[in-house]
């Protein structure tokens, strides 16, 4: 029986239709993972292009290239594509590929739902991108109210394309919820015998906790955009003060989603880095259980910090103090994590391949982003920083040199397993060094222009900020161009040498027990975890 089954399996493997044919019907977690990753890459390039347009305008003072309204459309679309189109789908791609392999499962628990949750995304984002194309063709403006779409900017004063945006957010939200349900069910039901919860790799843990966050907050976002829709078209006044509503309530609802959302975008990165650092330090991760507890406490605390985005909206003093202290408190588990990563590297026999370089850069730069976050959490100081470039510097340090660097680290770490080839190390290192230098030239000076009072989301600025903005824009174009190295790595990987089953000698985990490239069906007989 087993011989026949293996023979049948062999035939099946050979008879696979090409990827572009099976992508509409496949329910295999590896195919769907690849689709998510490719989609995230395309969105990264689209969102990056919008950022290049923004930086081109801001290179010199005075209105250079764009009308202010189009500038606002570019900042909005950049934020939306990067958050919902690049970072989140990339992590979902990693989850699809790696979670079943890490827990010894044959596939995701709900394979068809998995495919459905992917195919919602291209439709959602084509709506958003269509509104920008229409704007370029002169058919009315794209959404122009920033990615936070505050009422009344988006309700009373939003362009007609706002409805596209509302529909798009609904589709993204459905996709996220379905994806999260799938991850939870997979982790709880399909773990290999012997794999207890506290034996799971940290990447699986971080994704499990992220999935609960997604299920908790995506309906809140859906509620906010539905109220926007009814305010726009059906005569309600949820956020309109003239009808008895409250525009500040919108901010409360949005940030109740928005702050857990930023942890949704960073927790999987913690998981990736917690896989990579032990592999290249050749030591077990220091303080595994404390990492699990720290991740869970970050997720719980993320629900009680939302109003730190709103210190200047006139919160009562007791409210401001509560949110300030809670925000300070969330830095403690994050500090535990950073300590554990550094302790893992301490006296390890480290080598510095591309995944490790990105992981170390992640730890250092994410910590800088964390420190500026603690500065922003101090209420009296926040009155100075609010809505300046200091805020932009803070969250880009966390989301670019944090989330995006972790995505690059994870991609380089698992590419040999996915493709069966080793990538070009020289290109990968060029990608790293070029990205590292440019990302700091791009975002570090923003702290200074922000402290000096340069406001966000303006197409023009006063002369005093001209010198620094010139260098920020140079950093921006350089960082954008650095990503061509990554594309070069992806396009040349087929030419690389064959990858071993375990290409990194310090790597641990079930995914390294299967051949490279990973077979189409893995773990049909579940492995036993000792």
Spell out the residues 6+ positions from residue 303 whose beta carbon is closer than 8 angstroms to its own.
Answer: 216, 256, 259, 260
For the chain, what percentages of helix, strand and coil (3-state, to nearest 5) are there? Answer: 75, 0, 25
323 labelled catalytic: no
Q: Which of 176, 344, 435, 482 is labelled catalytic?
A: 176
Q: Which of 31, 57, 231, 261 is labelled catalytic?
A: 261
Q: Which two tokens stand for residue 107?
A: 């596939």
Can you tell me the distance from the alpha carbon of 488 to that of 367, in angstroms, rounded to the nearest whole number? 30
6 labelled catalytic: no
Q: Which of 199, 429, 456, 457 is labelled catalytic?
A: 456
Q: Which of 60, 147, 150, 478 is labelled catalytic?
A: 147
Q: Which of 29, 55, 78, 417 is labelled catalytic?
A: 78
Spell out the residues 6+ positions from residue 219 whose beta carbon is closer than 8 angstroms to its own.
Answer: 173, 177
175 labelled catalytic: yes
Q: Which of 308, 431, 447, 502 is labelled catalytic?
A: 308
Spell out the residues 6+ positions from residue 9 whose beta carbon is closer than 8 angstroms to its own.
Answer: 521, 524
112 labelled catalytic: no
147 labelled catalytic: yes
Q: Which of 327, 334, 388, 403 is labelled catalytic?
A: 334
107 labelled catalytic: yes
308 labelled catalytic: yes
Q: Which of 161, 175, 295, 438 is labelled catalytic?
A: 175
Q: Which of 131, 135, 154, 274 is labelled catalytic?
A: 274
CB 121, CB 174: distance < 8 Å = no
CB 245, CB 133: distance < 8 Å = no
Q: Which of 30, 259, 394, 417 is labelled catalytic?
A: 259
Can you tell me the distance from the alpha carbon of 521 to that of 16, in angstroms, rounded to the nearest whole number? 12
Q: Which of 31, 57, 107, 511 is labelled catalytic?
A: 107
274 labelled catalytic: yes
Can you tell me the distance from the alpha carbon of 135 to that of 517, in angstroms, rounded to the nearest whole number? 44
259 labelled catalytic: yes
Q: Which of 309, 394, 421, 447 is labelled catalytic?
A: 309
334 labelled catalytic: yes
Beta strands in 32-185, from DSSP E residues, in sequence order? none
CA distances from 447 to 72, 368, 393, 438, 504 (A): 21, 11, 6, 15, 38
Q: Which two tokens stand for residue 87?
A: 């970072």
Q: Which two tokens stand for residue 276?
A: 């990579």
CA distances from 193 to 118, 203, 323, 528 (A): 29, 19, 43, 5
Q: Which of 55, 283, 337, 396 is labelled catalytic?
A: 337
Instruction: Verify cis geometry, omega within 30 degrees of 0, for the bond prior to 517.
Output: yes
What amino acid positions are annotated as catalytic residues?
Answer: 78, 107, 147, 175-176, 259, 261, 263, 274, 308-309, 334, 337, 456
């Amino acid at each position: 029986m087993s011989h026949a089954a293996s023979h049948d399996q062999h035939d099946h493997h050979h008879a696979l239709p090409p990827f572009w044919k099976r992508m509409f019907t496949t329910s295999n977690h590896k195919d769907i993972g690849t689709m998510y990753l490719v989609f995230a890459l395309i969105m990264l390039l689209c969102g990056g292009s919008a950022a290049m347009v923004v930086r081109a305008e801001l290179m010199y003072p005075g209105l250079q290239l764009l009308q202010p309204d189009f500038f606002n459309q570019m900042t909005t679309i950049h934020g939306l594509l990067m958050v919902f189109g690049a970072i989140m789908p990339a992590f979902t791609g990693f989850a699809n590929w790696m979670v079943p392999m890490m827990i010894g499962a044959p596939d995701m628990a709900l394979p068809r739902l998995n495919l459905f949750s992917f195919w919602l995304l291209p439709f959602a984002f084509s709506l958003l991108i269509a509104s920008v194309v229409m704007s370029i063709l002169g058919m009315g403006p794209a959404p122009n109210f920033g990615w936070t779409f505050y009422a009344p900017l988006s309700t009373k004063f939003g362009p007609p394309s706002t409805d596209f945006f509302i529909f798009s957010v609904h589709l993204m939200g459905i996709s996220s919820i379905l994806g999260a349900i799938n991850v939870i069910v997979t982790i709880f039901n399909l773990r290999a015998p012997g794999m207890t919860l506290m034996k799971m790799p940290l990447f699986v843990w971080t994704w499990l906790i992220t999935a609960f966050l997604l299920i908790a907050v995506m309906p809140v976002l859906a509620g906010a955009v539905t109220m926007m829709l009814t305010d726009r078209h059906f005569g309600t006044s949820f956020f309109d003060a003239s009808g008895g509503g409250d525009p500040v309530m919108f901010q409360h609802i949005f940030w109740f989603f928005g702050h857990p959302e930023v942890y949704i975008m960073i927790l999987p990165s913690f998981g990736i880095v917690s896989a990579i650092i032990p592999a290249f330090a050749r030591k077990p991760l220091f303080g595994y259980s404390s990492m699990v507890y720290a991740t869970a406490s970050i997720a719980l605390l993320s629900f009680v910090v939302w109003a730190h985005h709103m210190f200047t909206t006139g919160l009562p003093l007791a409210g401001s103090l509560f949110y300030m202290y809670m925000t300070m408190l969330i830095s403690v588990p994050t500090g535990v994590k950073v300590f554990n990563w550094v302790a893992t590297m301490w006296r390890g026999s480290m080598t510095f391949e591309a995944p490790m370089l990105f992981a170390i850069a992640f730890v250092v730069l994410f910590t800088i982003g964390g420190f500026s976050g603690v500065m922003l959490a101090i209420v009296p100081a926040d009155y100075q920083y609010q809505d300046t470039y200091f805020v932009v510097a803070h969250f880009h340090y966390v989301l670019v040199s944090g989330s995006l660097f972790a995505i690059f680290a994870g991609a380089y770490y698992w590419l040999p397993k996915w493709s069966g080839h080793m990538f070009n190390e020289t290109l990968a290192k060029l990608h790293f060094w070029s990205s590292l230098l440019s990302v700091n030239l791009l975002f570090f000076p923003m702290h200074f222009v922000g402290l000096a009072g340069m406001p966000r989301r303006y197409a023009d600025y006063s002369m005093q900020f001209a010198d620094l903005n010139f260098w920020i824009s140079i950093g921006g174009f350089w960082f954008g161009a650095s990503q061509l190295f990554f594309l070069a790595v992806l396009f040349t990987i087929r030419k690389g040498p064959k990858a071993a089953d375990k290409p990194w000698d310090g790597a641990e985990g079930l995914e390294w027990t299967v051949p490279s490239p990973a077979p189409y069906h893995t773990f049909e007989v579940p492995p036993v975890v000792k």
